[in-house]
Structure 1
Amino acid sequence: MAHIIANKDKILMRIKKIKGQLSGIEKAIEDEKDCFKVLQQISASRGAIQSLMNELLNDHIKEHLGNHVSEEQRAQEIENITNLLKTYLK
């Protein structure tokens, strides 16, 4: 959790940008914009979410699977990450 706290402001700013992108999709549909523009916004939003996930997952792995972690904690964390990736990649 320390890696999230250390980057809290940066992470929250990224989440606010993602919210803005999602609001843009909603507005584009409400305003009956061209479907290609809506698809572009969806693609950009998906990319932003994936980028956030990648960054947080990378930091999480570094913090929770490092040399300072016991074998028992490491085994549990590997199971947690494996389960997370199964649901994320569906």
Structure 2
Amino acid sequence: MHTVTDKAKLMARVRRIKGQAEALERALENDLACADVLMLVASMRGAVNGLTAEVMEDHIRHHIVDPDQESSSQARGAAELIEVLRTYIK
């Protein structure tokens, strides 16, 4: 599986998300202001979206076609899809 080669990078992202979740939990336990809680939620959502985009891009590159290795119309389509995903998921 290709995620094994990127495992350290993915695990680092997951650990950051875990830390953000723990900060959110503490914020709720300590009755932080709504705006502060919403900022923590937004940062978690961004981190999860970043992880999602990275895993999806890796999936496209390893299981469909890697646009850096080919120049076919499928490769161009994959490159376009990767760009759309990066933009959409942000």
Same fold (TM over 0.5): yes
Where has structure 1 moved over 4 Å in runs of 4 or more?
none
Aligned residue pair count: 66
The CA distance in 2 between the partners of 1:50 and 1:31, in whole Å, is 27
**Aligned AA for 1:50?**
N
In structure 2, the partner of 1:26 is 25
SS at match of 1:33: coil
The CA distance in 1 between the partners of 2:65 and 2:49, in whole Å, is 23
The CA distance in 2 between the partners of 1:65 and 1:33, in whole Å, is 45
Deviation at 1:58, TM superposition (A): 0.4
TM-score by length of 2: 0.70
The CA distance in 2 between the partners of 1:17 and 1:29, in whole Å, is 18
In structure 1, the partner of 2:62 is 63
TM-score by length of 1: 0.70
Q: Which runs of 5+ in 1 are unaligned?
A: 68-90
Once the two structures are superposed, residues 32-65 of structure 1 have per-residue CA deviations (whole angstroms, 9 ceiling, x without a partner) of 1111000000000000000000011001011101
Q: Which runs of 5+ in 2 are unaligned?
A: 67-90
The sequence identity of aligned pairs, in percent, is 35
Deviation at 1:8, TM superposition (A): 0.5
Deviation at 1:66, TM superposition (A): 1.9
Superposed CA RMSD in Å reads: 1.1
